[in-house]
């Protein structure tokens, strides 16, 4: 069977957490997949929320199109402030309700729906569409949210919530078991996949961007980084509650017994932004905060740094964050608190070190390893070699091919 033999089909990609194009972020999973689907001759519609999870604020976006021709539909959602709150669950339920209304009102139903899991409630609507209208369903497992909730609930409340989690796990199993196919973004997610399913692995992968246009602020940032005579550790990402930001800041404080020839450069925005700004004010020689930058600035900036940080709190269920790919793309080694699959990849390819989340001493010891210039050079070479292993073009061509097989 060839791609040309498959007739044009309508595919909906649904998740409240997807980021629409044109806002300066990295190309999202839906954007990469929709591009390949359109190249294969299909229609792609990305259904997202009007609430930005990263900034925790609403955004006004009309229905729009990506540069590849994918249609973006923004549905209303309830806002929330905390990363892990009851209000966020309510927001997901509300979005699922809006998606149900949108689906019912659509004159032409899609041939296939791809939903991200979590949120579970959106997947359940996709399952209803499959059962009632015969729509094909693919579930893309990108996180283990129930497990994260179960870990952080205080013991007194655990007795109340444990039965709810059991229902949650049961519904997720039903969803995955009845999907036409389950896709994983990391092998570590396979533990939740029912035995009747053969999961399909699609890494988020490296995204190559065109050289950014000349910008005075970008030139100023690069000049400042180049002027620093010290080992440059960098964190570029969300400043959220799920990250081990406090440990990083404590490690780079002047009072910490750490090599003074090391500094940390922080790029991003989020709930912990004020905490970072305060730390910079008190330790401006060791901690430098630049704020949020456009995604296409990231590669030229990271290339000027020495080591990328992947600091996640101990309760985090994140397996392979996007920053992992960004650092490999820049050809720099990384230092992470994540165990499991990312730790195995880093060890296997010799592209970095690990530390214990929340431990300043452990992080400090790991940082000292990179003080050896020969060691750092070896790590950088290994990181550059690892670029050949991950490719967005290969990964998402495989994803689109899988969908072709399901809807043919």
Decide if 353 contacts 335 (C-beta within 8 A): yes
Give domain 3-205+391-407's CATH architecture: 3-Layer(aba) Sandwich (3.40)
CA 119 from chain center: how many Å?
14
**Do 3-205+391-407 and 216-388 come out as alike in CATH topology?**
yes
pLDDT at 144 over 90: no
pLDDT at 3: 45
pLDDT at 268 over 90: yes
pTM to 2 decimals? 0.81
Q: What is the spatial distance between Cα 3 and Cα 343, in angstroms, rounded to a whole number?
A: 37
Q: What is the spatial distance between Cα 8 and Cα 378, in angstroms, rounded to a whole number?
A: 49
Whole-number Cα distances in Å, 136 to 115, 124, 179:
11, 13, 8
In this predicted structure, which of 169-178, 253-262, 338-347 has the lowest mean pLDDT? 253-262
* Structural domain spans, the chain: 3-205+391-407, 216-388
Q: Which two tokens stand for residue 94?
A: 């509300």
pLDDT at 62: 58
Helix (H, G, I), strand (E, B) or coil at 18: coil
Please give the residue that has the higher pLDDT: either 397 or 60: 397
Residues 385-396 have a mean pLDDT of 86
The mean pLDDT value of the chain amounts to 90
Q: Which two tokens stand for residue 53?
A: 């999870």
The predicted-structure confidence for 67-110, as pLDDT tens digits, reads as follows 899 999 999 999 998 777 789 889 999 999 999 999 999 999 99
pLDDT at 24: 72
pLDDT at 253: 84
Q: What is the spatial distance between Cα 131 and Cα 121, in angstroms, rounded to a whole number?
A: 15
- Count of CB atoms situated within 10 Å of the CB of 89: 17
The predicted-structure confidence for 195-242, as pLDDT tens digits, reads as follows 999 999 999 888 877 777 789 999 999 999 999 999 999 999 999 988
The predicted-structure confidence for 23-42, as pLDDT tens digits, reads as follows 777 889 999 999 999 999 99
pLDDT at 255: 58
Percent of the chain with pLDDT over 70: 93
pLDDT at 260: 56
pLDDT at 2: 43
Whole-number Cα distances in Å, 89 to 84, 98, 225, 354:
8, 14, 41, 32
pLDDT at 150 over 90: no
216-388 placed in CATH 3.40.50.2000: yes
Angle between helices 145-152 and 155-178 (to 10 degrees): 170
Peptide bond into 119 cis (omega under 30): yes
Strand order of the β-sheet with 307-310 is 287-291, 262-267, 231-236, 307-310, 334-336, 352-354
pLDDT at 373 over 70: yes
Instruction: Give 127's Cβ-side CA count (13 Å radius).
Output: 18
pLDDT at 21: 86
């Amino acid at each position: 069977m060839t791609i040309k033999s498959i007739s044009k089909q309508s595919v909906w990609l649904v998740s409240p957490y997807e980021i629409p194009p044109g806002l300066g972020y990295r190309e999202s999973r839906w954007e990469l997949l929709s591009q390949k689907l359109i190249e294969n001759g299909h229609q792609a519609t990305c259904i997202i929320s009007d609430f930005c999870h990263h900034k925790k604020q609403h955004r006004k976006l009309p229905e729009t199109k990506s540069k590849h021709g994918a249609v973006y539909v923004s549905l209303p959602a309830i806002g929330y402030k905390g990363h892990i709150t009851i209000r966020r669950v309510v927001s997901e339920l509300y979005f699922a309700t809006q998606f149900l209304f949108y689906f019912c009102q659509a004159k032409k139903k899609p041939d296939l729906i791809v939903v991200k899991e979590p949120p579970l409630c959106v997947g359940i609507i996709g399952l209803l569409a499959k059962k009632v209208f015969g729509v094909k369903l693919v579930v893309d497992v990108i996180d283990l949210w129930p497990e994260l909730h179960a870990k952080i609930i205080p013991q007194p409340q655990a007795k109340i919530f444990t039965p709810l989690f059991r229902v949650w796990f049961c519904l997720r199993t039903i969803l995955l078991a009845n999907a036409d196919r389950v896709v994983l973004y990391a092998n570590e997610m396979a533990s939740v996949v029912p035995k009747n399913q053969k999961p399909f692995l699609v890494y988020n992968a490296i995204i190559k961007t065109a050289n950014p246009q000349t910008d005075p602020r970008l030139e100023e940032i690069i000049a400042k980084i180049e002027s620093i005579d010290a080992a440059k550790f960098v964190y570029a990402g969300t400043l959220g509650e799920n990250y081990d930001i406090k440990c990083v800041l404590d490690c780079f404080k002047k009072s910490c017994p750490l090599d003074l020839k090391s500094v940390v450069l922080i790029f991003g925005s989020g709930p912990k932004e004020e905490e970072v700004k305060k730390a910079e004010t008190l330790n401006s020689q060791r901690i430098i905060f630049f704020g949020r930058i456009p995604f296409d600035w990231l590669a030229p900036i990271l290339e000027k740094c020495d080591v990328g940080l992947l600091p996640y709190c101990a309760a985090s269920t994140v397996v392979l964050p996007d920053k992992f790919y960004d650092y490999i793309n820049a050809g720099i080694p990384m230092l992470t608190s994540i165990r499991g699959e990312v730790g195995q990849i880093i060890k296997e390819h010799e592209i970095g070190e690990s530390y214990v989340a929340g431990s300043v001493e452990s992080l400090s010891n790991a940082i000292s390893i990179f003080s050896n210039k020969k060691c750092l050079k070896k790590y950088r070479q290994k990181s550059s070699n690892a670029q050949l292993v991950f490719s967005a073009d290969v990964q998402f061509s495989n994803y689109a091919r899988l969908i072709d097989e399901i809807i043919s």
